[in-house]
Structure 1
Amino acid sequence: MSQERTGVATLKGNPITLIGPQLQPGSQAPDFQLNKALTEVVSLADFAGKVKLISVVPSLDTGVCDAQTRRFNEEAAKLGDNVVILTVSVDLPMAQARWCGAAGVDKVVTLSDYKTREFGKSYGVLIKELQLLMRSIFVLDANNTIQYVEYLGEMTEHPNYENAIAAVKKLV
């Protein structure tokens, strides 16, 4: 049974329960198995040696998630080849690909946790009531040590883009 965290997050002011631990800077990032496409699965090892910004969103088809992913796509172009930006949601891989095509998003890598929600549980971002992922940001160094974490307290708010990008820039 995974740990449940209450009183740490809301959706439009209403309390929601997050499943999994609250990860801290300095700890090793949990490995993951996420779908890049319906039949293609990737793990942390697929991004070995790169600084990783993991942008977690509930669904690309909502306003804040759309804006968050577009913003990190713009930033990705400026950060160089040693950085990869991963956007993780439970949207189906086909929906992620369709959204990226329509939005012209081509620098971030979209990954789906739709099958098992294991990423959500191990990163402490699975919303029990909705089975979606809570908006959050994780910055990992090239050795997969967590250097920066932002768990948002309110699902409809934007993350602190400047702090996340600054954390990445310190590592490159």
Structure 2
Amino acid sequence: MAQITLGGNPIDTVGTLPKVGVQAPDFKLIKADLSETSLADFLGSKLVLNIFPSIDTGTCAASVRAFNAKANVLENTKVLCISRDLPFAQKRFCGAEGLENVITLSDFNTGQFGKDYGLEIGNGPLTGLHSRVVVIIDEKGKITYTEQVAEIADEPNYDHALAAL
């Protein structure tokens, strides 16, 4: 369990992030076209997992925009933006913003990704949503970097995350 804050008020996650150096837990998430995808579909590419509570909040939207801007210069790297938002909301946001360098994935149907990665919010007003986390995974599926953002309203450290690539 990690303790984070929302507006300075303490809340907890249901677990802890996977450790750097371990194989990333597999996942099944829903793409914008409602098809299912898994970690295996991305093996061979470096991955930036930009994980957040909801694309309809300012900080979450800012992180998607920031990673979108940086993604087009990252060699052999895919940026996966993951939340419990419906795929329709994710697609609408990216379409309205003209964001084409990130892949949105939804954990709306089971929430299992949040549990498996230890980042689901366990109490407070955002219970059940994902906390703000960045995970970097190498081409073979090993985790090389994690950041659990301490305050949900803060953006992740983009420079540290991208340096881990």
TM superposition score category, shorter chain reference: over 0.9
Correspondence for 2:152: 155
- Indicate whether 1:54 and 2:43 are aligned: no
- Asked whether the 8 Å contact 1:20–1:120 carries over to 2, the reply is no
Which one-letter code corresponds to 2:8 in the other structure?
A: G
| Contact 2:17–2:146 (Cα < 8 Å) also in 1 | no
Paired residue secondary structure (1:125): coil
The answer to whether the Cα contact below 8 Å between 1:58 and 1:135 also exists between their aligned partners in 2 is yes
Match of 1:101 in 2: 95
- Asked if structure 2 preserves the Cα contact closer than 8 Å seen for 1:89 and 1:133, the reply is yes
CA distance in 1, matches of 2:148, 2:113: 15
C-alpha deviations, 1:50-88, integer Å up to 9, x for none?
A: 0001000111111111111100001110113x1100000
Q: Would you say 1:28 and 2:54 are equivalent positions? A: no
CA distance in 2, matches of 1:99, 1:37: 11
1:49 maps to amino acid: G
Distance 1:104 1:38, change over 3 A: closer
- Judge conservation of contact 1:21–1:122 (CA < 8 Å) in 2: no
Structure 2 Cα separation of the partners of residues 93 and 20 of structure 1? 25
| Alignment root-mean-square deviation, CA | 1.1
Q: How far 1:137 sits from its partner (Å)?
A: 0.3
Structure 1: which 5+ runs fail to align? none
Structure 1: 4+ residue segments shifted above 4 A: none
Give percent identity, aligned residues only. Answer: 44
Choose which of 72, 86, 90 in structure 2 pairs with 1:92: 86
- Which SS does the other structure have where 1:55 is aligned? strand
Q: Does 1:16 pair with 2:11?
A: yes
- How many residue pairs match? The answer is 162
Determine the structure 2 residue equivalent to 1:125: 119
1:15 Cα offset (Å): 1.4
Contact 2:32 2:104 in 1 (8 A): no
Measured after TM superposition, the shift of residue 132 of structure 1 is 0.8
TM-score (norm: length of structure 1): 0.91
Equivalent residue of 1:96, what SS? helix
